[in-house]
Amino acid sequence: MSALTGPDVLSAAERSAVEALVFPLADDEFVIAERYTEWQVRAPTLESDLALANVAQDEFGHARLWYDVVADLGYDEPELLFEREPDEFYHASLCALPFDAGDWADAVVRSYLYDTAEALRLGSLAGSAYAPIANRIERITTEEEYHREHATTWIERLCVDAEGRQTVQNAVDRLYPYALALFEPGTPEQTDAIESLNLRTESLPSLREQWIETTSTFFESIDVSVPVVEPLPEDPGRHDSHVEAWLSLYEEFTRTYRELDRAHTPTITSEHNDG
């Protein structure tokens, strides 16, 4: 049973720790879903087109569940998405990197790297002291398993010949350092608050280590090498710089809102009480 039952019982410090934890989760899901949708009607087969569209839909759903948690703290949807400044988003740059035209290996490798990290992250939140976080985990986790199945099946399929394996290798070389930034913490004060309140029950360095172990074992099993990853890229996202392409993605997803001059938008977040 989580000690912190809902928004009404949070002190100002607890509330700020919940926000520091949840915004990066929500932003990762939202931004990677935005990128995945670019594959609609462009994936290599109709089946994979539908599968990736479904993965994107799931990630939008998970973004909605996480944004609901902060919406219950008093934010509305324009503040959360359409009127937030681009440098106030906290996703890791893995989620925002553009796809090169036709580079399907990038899509499936990115999905594998991201979803493996997400599974670990969800595990570290299942015992969260904040009930609205803990209560969401099983729902989200059950929807994540087939994402990894889809990604690993495609990676293995691409690796049946040398040319395909090279496209996977290129994607791993490019994406792996950005994926590691998924485990970048916020400020030391935020990390201390998140961990001392038991909002997350495992540290990011520990999750990072498990992620490296799992992903390295998988890639080695299909003769794909994992690059040396230090230092991190200069534009890893989170609280550091975002990749340049993030700005154009941001312009794109906020465009309709701006052009219609919407003072009020139909919401991705719920107007209803949310548990």
| Residues found near other proteins in the complex (CB under 8 A) | 1-2, 5-8, 57-62, 64-65, 68, 72, 131-132, 134-136, 138-140, 142-143, 266-267, 270-275
Residue 59 beta carbon to other proteins: minimum distance, rounded to whole angstroms: 8
- The residue (of 58 and 184) whose beta carbon lies closer to other proteins is 58
Which of 132, 149, 116 lies closest to 14, judged by CA? 132
Residue 217 beta carbon to other proteins: minimum distance, rounded to whole angstroms: 29
DSSP summary character for residue 83: S
- The residue (of 71 and 180) whose beta carbon lies closer to other proteins is 71
Residue 275 beta carbon to other proteins: minimum distance, rounded to whole angstroms: 4
Measure the CA–CA gap between 167 and 10, rounded to whole angstroms: 48
Measure the CA–CA gap between 268 and 252, rounded to whole angstroms: 17
Residue 130 beta carbon to other proteins: minimum distance, rounded to whole angstroms: 9
Residue in the block written with tokens 């919401």: 267
- The residue (of 91 and 136) whose beta carbon lies closer to other proteins is 136
- The residue (of 45 and 142) whose beta carbon lies closer to other proteins is 142
Beta bridge partners of 92: 237
Three-state DSSP class for 25? helix
Residue 133 beta carbon to other proteins: minimum distance, rounded to whole angstroms: 10
- Non-local CB neighbours of 208 within 8 Å, separated by 6+ positions: 180, 183
- The residue (of 113 and 140) whose beta carbon lies closer to other proteins is 140
